[in-house]
Amino acid sequence: MKLGILNTDTVKPEFTAKHGEYPDMFAELFHLVDPDISFMTYEVVQGEYPSDIDEVDGYVITGSKLSVYDDIPWINDLKNFVRQLHSEEKKNIGICFGHQLVAEALGGKTGQAETGWCVGVHKNKLTDAAKDYGLKSSEFNIPSNHKDQVLELPPGGKLLACTETCPISSMGLGDHILTFQGHPEFSEGYARALLDMRLKIFGEKHYRQAINSFKNETNNLQVASWIVDFISR
């Protein structure tokens, strides 16, 4: 299997030595599922795209510090590419910003969560529709770090999971789109580093709640396995 990483952001320099860039995080995670997976990275912020959408088996859109509703040329270009992938029913995985961008590009709605920042490990409760996408469980825990979220599904979109603060934390569309609001690629160390960096933004109480949430077991590898199986089928 060959995956295309549509990279939409960079890791802060002080974190890269220990945690790598976002494509590195995804490669490390997916190699735990299948060591033979290979990757192509496309720096879409710089306008890098595949010359042929079939040069990989599927695409993964990463997270970003920006908002999908920002009127920025590279974001608009990525939305157009998502529409092309959709029209050709090419496998497409969206993570956090990627989850929101896919929804917005295909007619859904994204905006700021009324509850503010959603950080730490969150329990995602799966719907009955999730089984159609290979998500065979009742719930899963993965780290989150977002202030925006999907508010309305795009036409044809199916709700696959929700959390207490995020009503659309996973979405499926057709047989080719699967997205998650949370971050299965985040190690606990990187997720904690982001929390430490944004302590003043979150406030002490919210920060402590997020730190304490890491006492809960995470299911990052399970989510990665679902993604690989989905792209393979």
Q: Average pLDDT for residues 10-22, to the nearest whole number?
A: 97
- 19, 99, 122, 183: which one is catalytic? 183
Q: Average pLDDT for residues 6-32, to the nearest whole number?
A: 98
Segment 20-56, tens digit of pLDDT: 999 999 999 999 999 999 999 999 999 999 999 999 9
Segment 64-77, tens digit of pLDDT: 999 999 999 999 99
Active site residue 96: yes
Query: Residue 190 belongs to a domain with what CATH number?
Result: 3.40.50.880
Going by pLDDT thresholds of 50, 70 and 90, the confidence category of residue 114 is confident
Segment 119-173, tens digit of pLDDT: 999 999 999 999 999 999 999 999 999 999 999 999 999 999 999 999 999 999 9
Number of structural domains the chain divides into: 1
Active site residue 176: no
Active site residue 162: no
Comparing 203 with 27, the larger pLDDT belongs to 27
> In whole angstroms, what is the distance from residue 197 CA to residue 185 CA?
19
The helix or strand, by DSSP H or E, that contains position 11, with its residue range, turns out to be none
% of the chain with per-residue pLDDT over 90: 94
Nearest to 197 by CA among 25, 70, 11: 11
- 86, 96, 99, 146: which one is catalytic? 96
- The b/e string for 117-153 (b: 16+ C-beta within 10 A; e otherwise) is bbbbbbbbebbeebeebbbeeeebbbbbbbebbbbeb
Sheet with 38-43: list strands edge to edge: 38-43, 2-7, 58-61, 91-95, 177-180, 170-173, 157-162, 118-126, 139-146
Instruction: Please report the pLDDT score of residue 117 as a whole number.
Output: 87
Domain coverage including residue 120: 2-232
Predicted structure pTM score: 0.97
CA distances from 105 to 61, 100, 181, 229 (A): 13, 9, 16, 25
* pLDDT > 90? residue 181: yes
For 87, other C-beta atoms within 10 Å of its C-beta total 8
Instruction: Please report the pLDDT score of residue 49 as a whole number.
Output: 98
* pLDDT > 90? residue 116: no
- 118, 122, 185, 206: which one is catalytic? 185
Instruction: Please report the pLDDT score of residue 202 as a whole number.
Output: 86
Identity of the amino acid at 85: L
Q: Is 179 strand, coil or helix?
A: strand
